[in-house]
């Protein structure tokens, strides 16, 4: 599909939001395990060393990072910055670039 | 036109504002969590953090914000794609069912979260 870059960042903002609705379930489960006791805290740490779980965490963090960066862009536009056609395109490029860097850093941190 | 009966505050402007207020609360909460976790936590320090009243209050605030934020966001998504215009009556039924399922999940998250925060 040929869509402007602003459409892609908007669709991704929605998709990441829907994804996070499920992802938050994982985060709440982790909070539960981490606080239930020293044994389950250690078990969670053990769990976090598996590749599959690292990928799940990375995916949730990626969703969180992208959704946050795109959300902050919305707030900036609400103030009245970058509301022009060029501003919108530039904003979308910054959102993609910045979240790509942050998601990569998150991946490095997880591994 | 889709009536506002399933939106958060029955008003577009109210939803618009709450979406931003809850977004800022959630951003602050996740930034705090990120900062704490990157700094390194063990069970003792993690438990100590979540034992403090302000952290429990902030966590519950974040969880309730999440509920509102997800409701407004998912309403926007559902009411764009599951519509009478795109699917006929099926659209209305599907949208309503999707909202009921999301409401139940969100309610579960909130109660589960309260149980975690005040139950350990």
Q: Does B56 touch chain A (CB under 8 A)?
A: no
Rounded CA gap, A25 and A4, in Å?
A: 33
Rounded CA gap, A4 and A46, in Å?
A: 44
Which residue in A has a C-alpha nearest to residue B21's C-alpha? A75
Distance from the Cα of B77 to chain A's closest Cα (Å) equals 7
Q: What is the pLDDT of residue A2?
A: 87
Rounded CA gap, B61 and B117, in Å?
A: 12
Q: What is the pLDDT of residue B2?
A: 53
Average pLDDT taken over every residue of chain B:
93
Facing A38 at nearest CB: one of B43, B70, B113: B43
Q: Is residue B79 part of a domain?
A: yes
Arithmetic mean of pLDDT, B68-80: 94
Facing B30 at nearest CB: one of A18, A28, A64: A64
Q: How far is CA A102 from the centre of its chain?
A: 9
Indicate if the alpha-carbon torsion angle B95, B101, B104, B109 is positive or negative. Answer: negative
Q: What is the pLDDT of residue B12?
A: 86
> Domain spanning A5-110: which CATH class is it, in words?
mainly alpha
Facing B116 at nearest CB: one of A17, A31, A64: A31
Domain span at B69: 8-119
Residues in A closer than 8 angstroms to B98, CB to CB, are none
Q: Which residues of chain A have pLDDT under 70?
A: none
Contact A75 B24 (CB under 8 A): yes
Q: Number of CB pairs < 8 Å for A and B? A: 52
Q: Is residue B33 part of a domain?
A: yes
Q: Is residue B75 part of a domain?
A: yes
pLDDT single digits (tens) B109-118: 999 999 999 9
Q: How many domains does chain B have?
A: 1
Domain boundaries, chain A: 5-110
Q: Does B18 touch chain A (CB under 8 A)?
A: no
Q: What is the ipTM of this complex?
A: 0.94
Q: Does B33 touch chain A (CB under 8 A)?
A: no
Q: Is residue B1 part of a domain?
A: no
Average pLDDT taken over every residue of chain A:
96
Q: What is the CATH number of the domain that holds B109?
A: 1.20.1300.10
Q: Which of B105, B116, B119 to mutate to test the interface with A (most CBs of A within 10 A)?
A: B116
pLDDT single digits (tens) B26-65: 999 999 999 999 999 999 999 999 999 999 999 999 999 9
Q: Is residue B104 part of a domain?
A: yes
Distance from the Cα of A85 to chain B's closest Cα (Å) equals 22
Arithmetic mean of pLDDT, B74-88: 91
Arithmetic mean of pLDDT, B76-102: 92
Q: Give the model's confidence band at B3: pLDDT under 50 very low, under 70 low, under 90 confident, else very high.
A: low
Q: Is residue B2 part of a domain?
A: no
């Amino acid at each position: 599909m040929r869509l402007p870059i602003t459409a892609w960042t908007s669709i991704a903002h929605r998709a990441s939001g829907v994804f996070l609705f499920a992802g938050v379930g994982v985060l709440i489960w982790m909070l539960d395990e981490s606080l239930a006791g020293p044994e389950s805290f250690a078990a969670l740490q053990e769990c976090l060393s598996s590749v599959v779980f690292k990928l799940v965490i990375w995916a949730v963090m990626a969703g969180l990072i992208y959704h946050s960066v795109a959300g902050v862009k919305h707030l900036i536009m609400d103030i009245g910055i970058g509301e022009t056609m060029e501003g919108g395109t530039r904003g979308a490029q910054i959102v993609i670039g910045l979240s790509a860097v942050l998601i990569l850093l998150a991946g490095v941190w997880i591994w | 036109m889709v009536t506002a009966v399933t939106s958060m505050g029955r008003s577009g402007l109210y939803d618009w504002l709450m979406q931003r207020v809850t977004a800022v609360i959630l951003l602050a909460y996740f930034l705090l969590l990120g900062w704490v976790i990157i700094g390194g936590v063990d069970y003792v320090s993690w438990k100590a953090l979540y034992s403090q009243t302000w952290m429990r209050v902030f966590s519950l605030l974040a969880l309730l914000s999440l509920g509102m934020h997800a409701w407004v966001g998912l309403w926007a998504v559902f009411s764009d794609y599951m519509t009478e215009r795109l699917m006929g009556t099926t659209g209305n039924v599907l949208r309503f069912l999707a909202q009921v399922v999301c409401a139940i999940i969100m309610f579960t998250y909130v109660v589960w979260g309260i149980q975690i925060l005040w139950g350990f």
